[in-house]
Amino acid sequence: MKTKISQKIEHKRFEFEVRELKMDEESKRATFTGYASTFGNKDYGGDIVASGAFADSIKKNPTIMVLADHTATVKNQIGFGFDMSEDAKGLITTTEINLEKESGREAYAMLKHAKERGYKVGLSIGYSVSDYEWDEKNRVRTIKSADLWEYSVVIFPMNPKATVTSVKSILESGEKDQIAEIKRRIESHLREEEGFSKFEAEGFVSKGFTALCDTGSEEATKAIEQMALRIKSASANS
């Protein structure tokens, strides 16, 4: 096994059932408690989060941002996570949603409705890995230590920033950060939904996506648009 370090921000989603959701009319805050991550189980991306992986991070930063759909803007910052601790199951946290913000009220309304229907929504963490072990034989990454940057209330594993209508303009603009985001989203979908290993997904996206982009043709642009649409549709139907 090899120990490696990476500072790339990654996202990992966990389903949870809203069991306790409280609203304080006076303070205009709503709170709920749940697991932001679980330990010991292999996920669809071939990762295992080891117990204690977030210990150093939550000690350094006991309060973190909570976003809507990993969108790091003032508008989509819906609250804060605090009282974070690790138990045998995973990383448990209390989330406080700001009901004075429109995005906070929308998130609360969705969580309340989900609770009423017994529907499991998603809590997705944004983190960077500071220490992990790679098992080449079984192609499994065990995350031993990670820095938690934020976590988000999400509906499905995929919620692309780039909609079908915006993909073409992004490609034409040549914005490297946005193009990289599309590629990352496709890679994440292949790993989490289609069972690709990290190596397989990265190779497929790197060579396949690049080959399409390099042609510069209208047909290639349409192919990428359709790819984004299929991922969005698959997420909506999962």
What share of the chain in percent tops pLDDT 70?
63
Q: What is the pLDDT of residue 162?
A: 25
Average pLDDT on 167-191 reads: 60
Q: What is the pLDDT of residue 202?
A: 72
What share of the chain in percent tops pLDDT 90?
24
Average pLDDT on 96-107 reads: 93
Q: Specify whether the CB–CB gap between 66 and 83 falls below 8 A.
A: no
Write down the pTM of the prediction.
0.59
Q: What is the pLDDT of residue 34?
A: 81
What are the tens digits of pLDDT across the range 185-216? 777 777 776 676 776 677 667 666 555 555 55
What are the tens digits of pLDDT across the range 111-143? 888 888 877 777 788 888 899 998 888 888 899
On the question of pLDDT at 66 being above 90, the answer is: yes
